[in-house]
Chain A
Amino acid sequence: MKNPIIKSLLLFLGIYFTLLVCVNFGGGKEQFANFYRSQAELFYQSFGDGGEVEIKKYKKEKHFDTLFILTSKKQKQKAIQTARRQGAKTTKIKPVKFPLNTWNAAGLYFLFFLSLILATPVTWKNRVKALFLGGFILYAFMIAKIGLSLWLKFSIYHERFGLGVESDVMLNAINYLNNIISVPFLGLILATLTWLFFCFPKIQLNPKPKVEIKALESSEVV
């Protein structure tokens, strides 16, 4: 095949579909969901000033695999105080729950990025470097995305949780930003940009031929 663009596209699609099959049938999605939940817990188990986030496996709906459950210390204290005033021994609190498809939210753009890197004609050293640095950027984006959506949820239910932003202007600004950042296509664009940035200047379409240096047996000077 002569056209290098079509050749590269076919190579990319071959790699991507192979990895996709592996991910779908080899338990890759579940592994990624576990990783996503562990990282979300690591960063956001306690959120801001007394926010508490529980992240669980979710099996009720086929489309989602993870459930976020939001409560706060202030909410619990308030509920306990109310219960004491009323003379009750037990009380209930109302958490905010939302389900998530971790593959759609982040996994897809990691796989896309990996396929792009593997399909690019660069040295393995550059590939590994791009994978680490680019992977870190995508990871930071994933963590920021989770943080923003949690901040938004805590702010929407500010009265209940006693944390997040109170001002309507700020709430609208966070909501606006969250609407942008939560679009799955944005993650793919970020993966593309990261790939272009790390790999494009280093592409080797025609590897340099090895130059053999032969010693001259006898120098002839004309």
Chain B
Amino acid sequence: MAKKNPNTPAEEVVASPSLIEKMALVWKRFNSQLINRLLLRFVGLMTLFYLVWASPFIQKTFVAFIATLYAKAGGFLLNLMGYGVSVHQDIVSSNAFSISIKNGCDGIEGLAIFLCAIAIYPATIAQKAKGLGYGIVFLVLLNLLRIVTLYMTGIHFPSLFDVMHESIWQILFIALTLVALFVWIDSLNKEKVSE
């Protein structure tokens, strides 16, 4: 029987990382980037927003109230332009055409994107307040423009209404919301440089 030599150096065994260690490494790498951390927080806030937004209570009270406000404001602008519309709850109508401000057309989701992004982005309270102020005014005006132009499309180019409603204004709204956000972030960077 061979005797084990006590002076033989022990072999170095490099243990391969376990699944948990590998996952921890992936997470560490993911979390090391600011954009990933911000996106995760954003996803969390937007999930919370949708969970609250979809509740029947919020839909019946807050969402319905916002839709009615938009219908009134849109109706007012259309009447200024001589379209002679009447407004009932969230419906803007005339003998020629009518539209209803429903989910997706009330601009709440666009506003939520903007609010959540500003909430998670590293900036001072004053900078966030300024961004919120300008952003909300911009998005509300943009949504009013959407309602008015959609009504006008329905009157003058009825065959284009669906394309305008689904494929153009939805994309314009989300793209311009992102632009508003990037402009705000850019203004923060410029402030830093000027300091």
* Interface residues, chain A, with chain B CB atoms under 8 Å away: 5-6, 9, 12-13, 16, 20, 24, 63, 101, 103-104, 108, 111-112, 176, 179-180, 183-186, 188-189, 192-193, 196-197, 200-201
Q: Are B36 and A184 in contact (CB under 8 A)?
A: no
Say whether B171 contacts A188, CB under 8 Å: yes
Nearest-neighbor residue (CB-CB) of A197 within chain B: B39
Instruction: Give the distance to chain B from A109, nearest Cβ to Cβ, in Å.
Output: 9
Q: For the side of the interface on B, what is the size category?
A: 20 to 34
In the bound complex, do residue B166 and residue A104 qualify as a contact, i.e. CB atoms below 8 Å apart? yes
A20 touches B167 (CB 8 A): yes
Question: Which B residues lie within 8 Å of A196 (CB)?
Answer: 35, 39
Residues of B within 8 A of A184 (CB): 104, 166, 170
With A5-B186, A103-B166, A180-B54 in contact, do A193 and B43 touch (Cβ < 8 Å)?
A: yes
- How far apart sit A113 and B104, CA to CA, in the bound complex (Å)? 19
Chain A residue numbers with a CB within 8 Å of B178 are: 192
Interface of A is mostly: helix
Residues of A within 8 A of B172 (CB): 13
Contacts of B182 in A (CB 8 A): 5
Q: Which of A63, A186, A188 contacts B50 (CB 8 A)?
A: A186
Q: Are A188 and B33 in contact (CB under 8 A)?
A: no
Contacts of B162 in A (CB 8 A): 63
A201: chain B residues at CB < 8 Å are 33, 35-36
A24→B172 CA distance, assembly (Å): 17
**Contacts beyond the supplied A24-B163, A103-B167, A108-B170: 17 A-B pairs with Cβ under 8 Å:** A6-B179, A13-B172, A13-B175, A103-B166, A104-B166, A108-B166, A112-B171, A176-B54, A180-B51, A180-B53, A180-B54, A183-B103, A183-B104, A184-B170, A186-B50, A188-B170, A189-B109
